[in-house]
Structure 1
Amino acid sequence: MSRKHVGLGIDIGGSGIKGAPVDLEKGKLADERLRIPTPQPSTPEAVAEVVGQILDHFDWKDPFGCTFPAVVQHGVTQTAANVDKTWIGADAHHVIKHVTGRKALVVNDADAAGMAEVEYGAAKGHKGTVLVSTLGTGIGSALVIGGRLVPNTELGHVELDGVDYETRAADSAREREDLSWEDWGARLTRYYQHIENLLWPDLIVVGGGVSKKFSRWSPYVSTRTPLVPAELLNEAGIIGAALLAHE
């Protein structure tokens, strides 16, 4: 496999930072991924040091892609949900390049996963409006229209029934309240029907760990839009980051 068809993606999360080279023709990892626990406190410099360790492990000298659990606007991290608050307003591109000596494209984690699903996964070849929705601690979203990403949509934070609705419909809410699949499905129906009325997507792809149990809860979700499980699962962020950096 020629080097020009290989990228490298790193997925920064609140508990772990993982990365691997990616075969960009197949949309698959080209080597076993390396995971290192996220340093505490997870300051920009400390996280960048771990990113550098992953790059060194794979002897990677070229530009690479990096996901981050926040709004990322032109390389600046504007929010910080599960990482140190010093990330708010940080120039992530500058910090990572300064610490690692290599250039990174930093993107929102849901956006990276969404692009991977559109390019290689459940929405491959789809030319319409695709919403990729990740159900986990919160609700992440990626909106892709005609193959082009609309970055930082943050659709998990829509206000419904007087609350930020991810507090009721995320997978963490299901676990916290010990909801049955049916009761959780009713909340997801409320959420997705609201999003449908705002955006009229052609396809909704659901990611996050619970997508592995799609057949157990999806019968209780009613949408007019086709609803399908994500295919790339835990590797989507790494693959999408490598793809976006390569492009």
Structure 2
Amino acid sequence: MLALGIDIGGSGIKAAPVDTVTGELTAERYRLETPQPATPDAVAETVGLVAGRFTWTGAVGITFPGVVRHGTVLTAANVDPGWVGIDAPTLFTHALSIAGGRLPRVLNDADAAGVAEMAHGAGRGRSGVVIMFTFGTGIGSALFADGVLVPNTELGHIEVRGKDAERRASARVREEKKLTWEDWAERVQEYLSRAEALFSPDLIIVGGGVSRHADRFLPLLSLRTELVAARLANTAGIVGAAMAAVAPTAPTALAAATDNREISAP
């Protein structure tokens, strides 16, 4: 159950081989900067370079920062708009050497991270409604009902004060505006409160690279919902992509079908 997971982000493209049963990377991850502009051809070339680090010929899963339905990219908010309408598995196949002509599995980046956290991280064994939010270049989301993924929710585009929430509360905004953790936490609080009111979740998981600093901002947030940091931190997308590559079912059932955990009440 080994697979190569490749995680495409707005600022970096990273990969590692993964033991999908344990969720552990079997080699040190390798990262290259996301090309700017992040056109399909430029990103595909970088994906090929990252994958080439491992001379991989087996199953490959790839995340994408936008809506991906049946392999076709439908939105591209944080990369080049030329992605819209692209058949992503076919594009990436030309940049990869995969045994037997097997197409890579491509899915939304936050969905992949959420699947990994539900199987191997903070969401393991949890039932009810669980939402994972990834704070990075934008804000991604992964929504689960009793362990089953509802794909492509893209809740980072909820409107807050007349703007997409990710234009106010992403990790990139915190860095660009040089916000203190306290000031940024106020924005995150407003956003998560809006999401909480809409979905009444049982658990919220905060992920993305910023989760490495959870002690700096999570204690500043106050919700009715239980709020925890992602355990896999910035490797969750890689792990979830690898899990998608070997899953015998569609991505909507990945969290329930690719591990043997027992679902328990919160």
Give TM-score, length-normalised by structure 1. Answer: 0.90
Q: Is the CA contact (8 Å cut-off) linking 1:55 and 1:61 kept in structure 2? A: no
Check 1:72–1:227 CA distance in 2 against 1; reply closer, same or farther (3 A cut). same
Question: Cα distance, 1:224 vs. partner?
Answer: 0.4
1:110 paired with 2:110, answer yes
Gaps in structure 1 of 5+ consecutive residues: none
Q: Is the CA contact (8 Å cut-off) linking 1:49 and 1:100 kept in structure 2? A: no
Matched residues in 2 for 1:111 and 1:146: separation? 15
* Aligned partner of residue 62 in structure 2, secondary structure: strand
Counterpart for residue 142 of structure 1:
142
Question: Cα distance, 1:52 vs. partner?
Answer: 2.9
Check 1:82–1:164 CA distance in 2 against 1; reply closer, same or farther (3 A cut). closer
Check 1:122–1:43 CA distance in 2 against 1; reply closer, same or farther (3 A cut). same
Q: Is the CA contact (8 Å cut-off) linking 1:138 and 1:172 kept in structure 2? A: yes
Counterpart for residue 9 of structure 2:
13
1:184-195 aligned within 5 A: 184-195=184-195
1:79-228 aligned within 5 A: 79-102=75-98, 103-228=103-228
Tell me the C-alpha RMSD between the 2 structures.
1.9
* Aligned partner of residue 100 in structure 1, secondary structure: coil
Q: Is the CA contact (8 Å cut-off) linking 2:10 and 2:137 kept in structure 1? A: no
Question: Cα distance, 1:235 vs. partner?
Answer: 0.9
Counterpart for residue 261 of structure 2:
none
Counterpart for residue 246 of structure 2:
246
Check 1:35–1:160 CA distance in 2 against 1; reply closer, same or farther (3 A cut). closer
Amino acid at match of 2:112: A
Q: Is the CA contact (8 Å cut-off) linking 1:39 and 1:46 kept in structure 2? A: yes
1:75 paired with 2:63, answer no
Counting matched residue pairs gives 243
Q: What per-residue deviation string (whole Å, max 9, x for no partner) do you get for residues 176-205 of structure 1?
A: 344333333232222112111111111101
Question: Cα distance, 1:172 vs. partner?
Answer: 2.7
Amino acid at match of 1:204: I
* Aligned partner of residue 216 in structure 2, secondary structure: helix
Matched residues in 2 for 1:39 and 1:177: separation? 23
Gaps in structure 2 of 5+ consecutive residues: 248-266
